[in-house]
Structure 1
């Protein structure tokens, strides 16, 4: 905003009125976007309920949604460089069956924590992934701010600095109780969590430059949404092992997953599954589909 105002003032004082008609609409659009973003984030609340995670937000117009944890396919905590001095983070998710259009309303539904502290990140992740909360607790901090091999995360090789000169020390992965954690980003720190029971596929890619450096990239595919889960650089041998491990674990986790029966009694769920009275296509995964 300061830059836009300065450009308009300089343009008018130097006798170039066209600047006014060019940059003033841009300033109005920016103010409108920031204002709507702030008003949607105010009066924010999140809590666990018997039906799922209930999220409320909005100042001038309020909105509420309830998300069963079994429909959360990816969680991402991000921190812009300007938020770093304050220790602020934001969390967004990919949710099955939710519209992913470019509208502001659709975008707002994917943001489950507009801004919060590290403690808030821990609480929100525990709500979204309750079955793995205790296992994730010790590794979240290392995923948010750690570098190299801190917290049990893998280390990107030093030659990866040719492709990621600023962030190669941050790039790494870890796993905890069926959840893959992918860490990356220097200017924008990012920690992505993917429940393997609900992933759609995993891909390993090696480009010509990566091949010369003996590197590869790995990406985990989920339902469409704002969260992209992937490692931009990783050792080729480690990428192959990670590919096989994720594909294998995804099949096992999907077979045993009952989170889509949110709020149901576990014994009743087991009884229905054993009798065949309730057939849920999402709970059955063929080995070939996992790859």
Structure 2
């Protein structure tokens, strides 16, 4: 007889837990405030309207005010009952294999995510949730896109503990049965606890193999000072072009029709919104390494704690915009299944491992998400990959005959192969370096346009999951591109057979 999916192998069903009782208020407080404002405004305007016995005096009908107050109180009671019902019918369960979430009072919804398909887990704290000390747990599951499952809201300490437990099981650590004394007396197995989230700690007791993971301390490898963050935003080419465009528009208006700053308000609001979004998501940015991967924390008003397991990273990109290179600043982004899809919420921000950092910060981040670079001289190799040009350190670059097509970039664009990854670099002004582990190569495409045929070159495109990284080896000699196409196909097949980076913490 097979064991049900909601039960561990020992036959004991894991208990169901409820979210925090304040969760419905945190989710729906804005709607409550809007309803109260509109209803109160209409009530006061109707009760205090009309003319009084003296000129200029408004008439106040105290009797007519009683009925709206009673109706408003009834509406408030109904809203509170709805919140109570929403809390009562929202429960979750963590097993060795699945994360189950049931919700809905009238329309019931049951969602299930396989733990071995969990790509990353975020702990998000909107401003109102921070006031109550609550957090939302967001699960990024492979191929889920914007439909990634979430658990909101639970205590912040509970969220951290759940994240560690789930990531430990997703990484391959085998769950051991919790000691019997760790389970508190409660309802029958399979029923939710009456005391809200975390009342029964049996499911959250540390696994014998996961205890070290949960207790492991974080080691900070990179931080982003506020001055560097603001400077990087001002030195972005888009920001500089918009500012120059607004200055040119203002000069034209003052020269012909007279300058009126009111016309520039929408443009300033748009630019300010973009800058604020980057500051809000990059403020107090910290990258730390731990046993379960790279932990990122950032946010000004809304804070987020994000964990990126190294075994889930599909591709890495290190970019250096032209105006950043004078200060030695770089940006690191990755493709992670379930995070960077077109419909995923905040996919651009959540795919960034380092918004702006130094070369040492880049190496520290790469050491976590790419622990084995496959080359003995990793520091010199990545220096050549990120900032170098020419055929040093094993790089093969475009032939000289493509100079008319790429007069500035032909000496830089090329590729190198290590024991564990393929590294492609490109760009003269905006330099980019793409890194794809061999086992993460999902497909290879050889492309040749009309001009490329004329010059006898071709492009090699590596297919990964959706995200900000699009690995391409530009304008290689046709014979060299064909040889790379066949060799990389073989390397990818062999690497997938030898290495399973999904269970990156699996015990012997």
Tell me whether the two structures share a fold, i.e. TM-score over 0.5.
Answer: yes
Tell me which residue corresponds to 1:84: 325
CA, structure 1 residues 228+5, in 2 after alignment: closer, same or farther (shift >3 Å)? same
Alpha-carbon offset, residue 176 of structure 1: 1.4
TM-score by length of 1: 0.85
Aligned to 2:317, the other structure's residue is in SS state strand
Aligned to 1:7, the other structure's residue is in SS state helix
1:14-163 correspondence to structure 2 within 5 Å? 14-15=256-257, 20-21=262-263, 23-101=264-342, 105-132=346-373, 135=376, 136-163=378-405
Separation in structure 1 between the aligned mates of residue 304 and residue 496 of structure 2, nearest angstrom: 32
Equivalences, count: 265
Tell me which residue corresponds to 1:223: 465
Alpha-carbon offset, residue 154 of structure 1: 0.7
Unaligned runs of 5+ in 1: 268-291
Separation in structure 2 between the aligned mates of residue 99 and residue 186 of structure 1, nearest angstrom: 26
Unaligned runs of 5+ in 2: 1-242
Aligned to 1:70, the other structure's residue is in SS state helix
- The C-alpha deviation readout for 1:260-283, integer Å capped at 9, x for no partner, is 102222x2xxxxxxxxxxxxxxxx
Tell me which residue corresponds to 2:492: 250
Alpha-carbon offset, residue 133 of structure 1: 6.8
- The C-alpha deviation readout for 1:122-158, integer Å capped at 9, x for no partner, is 1111111113376444310000111111222112111
Contact 2:340 2:468 in 1 (8 A): no
Which structure has more relative contact order (CA 8 Å, sep 6+)? It is 1
Contact 1:100 1:107 in 2 (8 A): no
Q: Which structure has greater helix proportion?
A: 1
Alpha-carbon offset, residue 217 of structure 1: 0.7
Larger-gyration structure (1/2): 2
TM-score by length of 2: 0.50
Q: Which residue of 422, 425, 439 maps to 1:180?
A: 422
Tell me which residue corresponds to 2:13: none
Moved more, 246-255 or 54-63: 54-63
Aligned to 1:217, the other structure's residue is in SS state strand
Separation in structure 1 between the aligned mates of residue 473 and residue 464 of structure 2, nearest angstrom: 15
Separation in structure 2 between the aligned mates of residue 171 and residue 36 of structure 1, nearest angstrom: 33
Aligned to 1:225, the other structure's residue is in SS state coil
Tell me which residue corresponds to 1:167: 409
Separation in structure 1 between the aligned mates of residue 269 and residue 286 of structure 2, nearest angstrom: 29
Separation in structure 1 between the aligned mates of residue 251 and residue 276 of structure 2, nearest angstrom: 23
Alpha-carbon offset, residue 12 of structure 1: 4.5
Tell me which residue corresponds to 1:270: none
Q: In angstroms, what is the RMSD of aligned CA positions?
A: 2.0
Alpha-carbon offset, residue 61 of structure 1: 1.7
